[in-house]
């Protein structure tokens, strides 16, 4: 059995005039939310790449792009102009040529050839003239990646 409670239908909490006045107010411009639509990066040199607790290889020149399997909703940022602060979160897809060489040598499993997928979150101090920033961030590796469940900053 369903019970229906009756309630008083008085005047709305906000009048049509108040709604019209709100529409005329200027939107705050000190913060902007944006979508990261593209990202491409290539390292300038090789780095040690751990493949186990005791082994590492040279990574080769690392290539990073936005993860094509992630949705656009995960690649967003917010810029606070008043505080000169930028926070951005994006999903990456990284390829390490050193892994390809390792797997092709027959020493390790073919599953290592899958791309490394991670979510990066960067917090940035923006320069006074807004021409650049210094980023400090962390990266969380996604399930199915070589380092799934690992994180660091």
3-state secondary structure the chain: CCCCCCCCCCCCCCCHHHHHHHHHCCCCCCEEEEECCCCEEECCCCCEEECCCCCEEECCCCEEEECCCCCHHHCEEEEECCCCEEEEEEEEEEECHHHHHHHHCCCCCHHHHCCEEEEEEEEEEECCCCCCEEEEEEEEECCCCCCCCCEEC
Asked if residue 65 belongs to a domain, the reply is yes
Q: How many domains does the chain have?
A: 1
The pTM is what?
0.66
Asked if residue 16 belongs to a domain, the reply is no
* 146: confidence class by pLDDT, cuts 50, 70, 90: low
pLDDT digits (tens, 9 = 90+) for 3-36: 655 656 666 678 888 888 888 888 777 889 999 9
Asked if residue 152 belongs to a domain, the reply is no
Checking if the pLDDT of 143 tops 60, the result is yes
Averaged pLDDT for residues 58-71: 88
More confident residue, 54 or 144: 54
pLDDT digits (tens, 9 = 90+) for 106-131: 777 776 677 788 899 999 999 999 89
Q: What is the structure's pLDDT at 121?
A: 92
Asked if residue 43 belongs to a domain, the reply is yes
Asked if residue 9 belongs to a domain, the reply is no
Asked if residue 1 belongs to a domain, the reply is no
Q: What is the structure's pLDDT at 77?
A: 93
Q: What is the structure's pLDDT at 52?
A: 74
Checking if the pLDDT of 149 tops 60, the result is no
Q: What is the mean pLDDT of the chain?
A: 82
Asked if residue 127 belongs to a domain, the reply is yes
The whole domain housing 127 covers 38-147
Q: What is the structure's pLDDT at 72?
A: 72
Asked if residue 78 belongs to a domain, the reply is yes
């Amino acid at each position: 059995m369903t019970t229906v409670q009756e309630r008083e239908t008085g005047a709305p909490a906000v009048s049509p005039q108040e709604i019209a006045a709100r529409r005329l107010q200027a939107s705050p411009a000190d913060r902007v939310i944006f979508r990261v639509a593209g990202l491409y990066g290539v390292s300038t040199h090789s780095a040690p790449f751990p493949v186990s607790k005791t082994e590492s290889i040279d990574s080769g020149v690392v290539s990073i792009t936005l993860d094509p399997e992630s949705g656009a909703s995960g690649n967003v940022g917010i810029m606070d102009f008043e505080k000169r602060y930028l926070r951005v979160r994006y999903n990456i897809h990284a390829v390490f040529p050193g892994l390809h060489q390792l797997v092709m040598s027959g020493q390790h499993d073919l599953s290592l050839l899958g791309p490394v997928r991670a979510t990066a979150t960067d917090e940035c101090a923006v320069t006074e003239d807004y021409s650049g920033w210094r980023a400090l961030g962390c990266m969380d590796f996604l399930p199915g990646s070589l380092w799934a469940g690992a994180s660091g900053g």
